[in-house]
Structure 1
Amino acid sequence: MSRVQRGIVHDLHDEPHLDGRRITVRFIKTQVEDRGLDPETVSERYTLDVADVYRALTYYHDHPKEMDDVEQQRQSAIDSHDHLTTDPDDVRR
């Protein structure tokens, strides 16, 4: 199946993602490098051209400072909202 190749853009929450999709560069990196999925598997699961998976991985590694900043912003947002979440151990029946 032929799929449209996409570029990397920054118009979604200031995090680089595939143009026209909500799939972030960081998400693709996590799927391939942290979870150990093959780029072809990621391509099939998310209906992407395999070149887009490699493009996202290349972008991630070509922009280490930007990706570190993205991760720090994400962690900061998580930390600032942590008090709004409930730990399952805190819920009583």
Structure 2
Amino acid sequence: MGVVRDREHSDGAPTIEGTGIRVEDIASAYEHSGYSPDEITQLYPDLSLGDVHRALAYYYDHIDDFRTSSSEPASA
């Protein structure tokens, strides 16, 4: 599986293909909550360890995009 963007799911946010699990959620679990990649697979049983590492690699390769989008005000 890879990382995909689909406007019909998760508002176009990058997700792990076939799961709908957002890259941002995986990165947050890793960076902010302190979960290890192995623990993240327990939080999200649909993900393999490879999926978690792919998501984290995608996140760090596009970190400026994630930081920009998270700092934008939500539209009403």
- Do the two structures share a fold, i.e. TM-score over 0.5? yes
After superposition, give the CA deviation of every residue in 1:10-55 in whole Å (9 maximum; x if it has no partner).
0031210101112111100000111001110111221110111111
Other-structure match for 1:70:
69
Runs of 4+ with deviation above 3 angstroms:
none
TM-score, normalization by structure 2: 0.81
Q: Which has the higher helix share?
A: 1
Cα-Cα RMSD? 1.5
Correspondence for 1:59: 58
User: Which structure would you say has the larger Rg?
Assistant: 1
Alpha-carbon contact 1:26-1:60 (below 8 Å) kept: yes
Percent pairwise identity: 33
Stretches of structure 2 that go unaligned for 5 or more consecutive residues are none
Gapped regions of structure 1 (runs ≥ 5) = 1-5, 82-93
How many pairs align? 72
